[in-house]
Amino acid sequence: MGHTSVDPNPLRLALTEAVPAMLDDVIAALVPNWPEHASFLESAREEIGASAELAIALVMDAATGAGPRPSPAAALALPLFHELGRDQARSGASLASLLSAYQAGARAAWRHLSRISVAGGLPADTVASLAEGIFWLVDQISSASAAGYTEEQSLAAAELERDRAELSELLLSDRSDSAAINAAALRARWPLPVTISVVLFDGDPPSADDVGWTRPTWLPFRRGDLRGVLAAGGRDELAAAFRGSAAVVGVPAPPTELPATLDPARVALRLRRARVVSGDPVFVEDHLDAVIVHRDPALLAALRADVLAPLDGTSAEARARLERTLASWLDCLGDGRAMAAELHVHPQTIRYRLGKLRALFGTALDDPLVRRRLALVLTWQDANGSAGPRPLTAASGGRG
């Protein structure tokens, strides 16, 4: 594009001298809808004014062919606008609002500068180039602020994630107290629920895209080999949220009592993997008896060995049959017909097996204490998968 030969220096001087008035126009344009940005311009008036004077000189050179296209780093105080973008993010305001303010300010500035340019006899094509340069510079300001906004959001997200990780660790620590928890919750911007459930996943937590279990008020955590979330909500809500996610939902507890619920949830997760308990998800409160029995596998194994010692002389196959028969005998209160139906065998087979058990255990089967001990070791399949009664299901009465 060619340019009419016009000495830009007088016009450049007029435009530069008009910068304070131009800033007044821009501030006035921003006050109705963007008062906070108008205040920023006023507070940074000296620095922005100096940058505007330099920008005008460079844009004039580019528009009249007297110099190269302006460099944003040289023409503008881009770090200032980068920081303004960060401030916008820190305040929780939208980036769109800031960029709209820039556009409004640019229009106000151009109206002011164009009047002077036309009055100064600047050719139309040069005025157009001047406008293009000014709005290009506004784009640079916008880009700087957008970069600052994004950077602050990333930093804030990382800091929030650290604060929430610290809060989850504190909530699961037996060294926590209410004052420390409340302070950590404030830092993490996590409103403390009245009760919280520890939710453990069998494997990695599902992604938000796969399962709609995520909530802004739920707290993900990683503790050793455990993966889960700290969740608030009623049973129906939690059941719907964690269905299909291979989860174990702990007993709800106040924040200061949450650590005591972690170990039972861990045991229930182990029992779920061993198919001792079932549910989708598994609610620990439905299986407290199984959790109590299997909490110490070594003690349970020792009790099984002691109580079932009379079966030690039988083969593995015969022992498994006799254990199932003994468990059914306890379940059915000695009703042979009910036992036959439950075990899918002939009543004569039940009578034979009971005779064998009587021969092995003797009068001990009539002792209430022995029966309680037998019920304790036979009600649940061994968590390590050894031979024993069938795994718990709704059809078997919903135990443990």
pLDDT of residue 337: 92
The per-residue pLDDT for range 265-304, each reduced to its tens digit, is: 999 999 999 888 889 999 999 999 889 888 888 888 888 8
Bond prior to 281 in cis (omega within 30° of 0): yes
Compute the distance between CA of residue 84 and CA of residue 88 in angstroms, rounded to an integer: 6
pLDDT surpasses 70 at 244: yes
**What is the model's pTM?**
0.57
- Residue 97 region by backbone torsions, left for phi larger than 0, else alpha for psi between -120 and 50, else beta: alpha
Check: CB of residue 400 under 8 Å from CB of residue 380. Answer: yes
Instruction: Specify if 90 maps to a domain.
Output: yes
Check: CB of residue 262 under 8 Å from CB of residue 250. Answer: yes
pLDDT of residue 5: 45
Compute the distance between CA of residue 399 and CA of residue 392 in angstroms, rounded to an integer: 6
Q: Point out the domain boundary residue: 131, 156, 181.
A: 156
Are residues 23 and 151 both part of a single domain?
yes
Contacts of 130 (CB under 8 A, 6+ apart): 59, 60, 63, 113, 114, 117, 122
Compute the distance between CA of residue 328 and CA of residue 338 in angstroms, rounded to an integer: 9
The parent domain of residue 110 ranges over: 8-156
Are residues 141 and 70 both part of a single domain?
yes
Enter the tokens of residue 85: 């973008």
The per-residue pLDDT for range 175-222, each reduced to its tens digit, is: 778 888 889 888 888 888 899 999 999 876 655 444 444 567 788 888
Torsion on CA atoms 179, 184, 188, 192, rounded to nearest 10: -30
- CATH number where 22 lies: 1.10.490
The number of helices, as runs of H, and strands, as runs of E, in the chain is 17, 5
Are residues 12 and 139 both part of a single domain?
yes
